A and B are shown apart, each in its own frame.
Chain A
Amino acid sequence: MAFLQTSDAHAGVNGKDAFYKLKEKHQDEMRSRFDLWKRGEQRTAKYFHGFDQEGYRECFVFKRKQAGTYYRFYGFLFNPKQKTDPRYRVCILVQCVIKNTENTDLRELDFVNSLRTHPAVKAAIQKEFPEDREGDHAPLHSQKRPSIH
């Protein structure tokens, strides 16, 4: 998980600022959702989900609701380790939208998509999450089995 930041304080890239403006308790609530995603658990779409629409399948959202207000942290999934770990995914959160309706406006995802494919953004992610050294993610069956004693 990571937040995208820009050096020119782009108005739309507000995910990190919005996150740290939440009360600590609510930050932790979001972190619990992040953990759930990192554990590979997708039992309910209430906390986070991707999008089925063509052109938006790499987009992702983490959600919370408080007193009738919907907080949506939009971002995208990206694999910066395509050579050494094809299954690896990072979730880059870009934008927080606070609104009174539950539905996603695709224009919000268009903004996320425009950054997802931006060369500078891709380079920044790959710098932060470099390819693994050889052998780091060898298939489990070829690794030494763990000792259980």
Chain B
Amino acid sequence: MPHYTAKNDQAFIDRIKFDFIAQLEHRLEVEQIKQSDLAKTLEVSDSEVSQVLNGNRNLSLKTMARYARALGMKIAVVAYDDGDPKNENGPIGSEIFSQSWEKLGRPKDTWSIDEAVVSNSGSAQISYQFFDTWSILSNWWKHYSAFSARNAGTWEQVEVQFASNTEKVENVHG
């Protein structure tokens, strides 16, 4: 049975919107920011902020960026292939991506991912325990590795890089 977001684009969009709003709500709670303070920062009415947070407004990318930045955050739009073209399982939650990023030591670029994996031999095991996260990171890593190999111009390096993504992390880099 397909996930409910498979029925039409709007359902999928609403789900993405909800995930985004949940992140804003979390930030408001953690930083103890009142909705009225957020409204002041954004120079909009309290009512508008309330409508956004209650999901009663369509959110453009511009609005999403403004709200995130007003709360001291940035946003990323991630397109990904999770091997579920019929959307049987619904979208991956945004927190999965953000937690994966946190677990990798908040890398700022793809080179930092390499360093994070090498310097933290435990990271492979942690990722393994969270299989979904592991799969995402694996795909991410494979694309990155292939990119590195293309730049290096040798397929031999591809094999080495792939090997580093398995239990052989310590062996390859140790």
A interface, CB within 8 angstroms of B = 25, 28-29, 31-33, 35-36, 39, 41, 43-44, 46-47, 65-66, 140, 145-146, 148-149
Q: A43 near B95 (CB under 8 angstroms)? A: yes
Bound-state Cα–Cα, A148 to B138, Å: 6
8 contacts between A and B (CB under 8 A): A31-B15, A32-B18, A35-B15, A35-B93, A39-B96, A41-B22, A43-B25, A140-B131
Give the contacting residue for A29; candidates B55, B93, B96, B142; CB below 8 A: B55
CB < 8 Å: which of B11, B93, B165 contacts A39? B93
Evaluate contact between A148 and B142: CB separation under 8 angstroms. yes
Majority secondary structure, B binding face: helix
Chain B residues engaging chain A, CB cutoff 8 angstroms: 4-5, 11, 14-15, 18-19, 22, 25-26, 29, 54-55, 90, 93, 95-96, 128-129, 131, 134-135, 138, 142, 162, 165-167
Contact of B131 among A35, A46, A146 (CB under 8 A): A146
The CB with the most chain B CB atoms within 10 A, among A43, A65, A140, A146, is that of A43
Q: Is the CB of B55 within 8 A of A46?
A: no
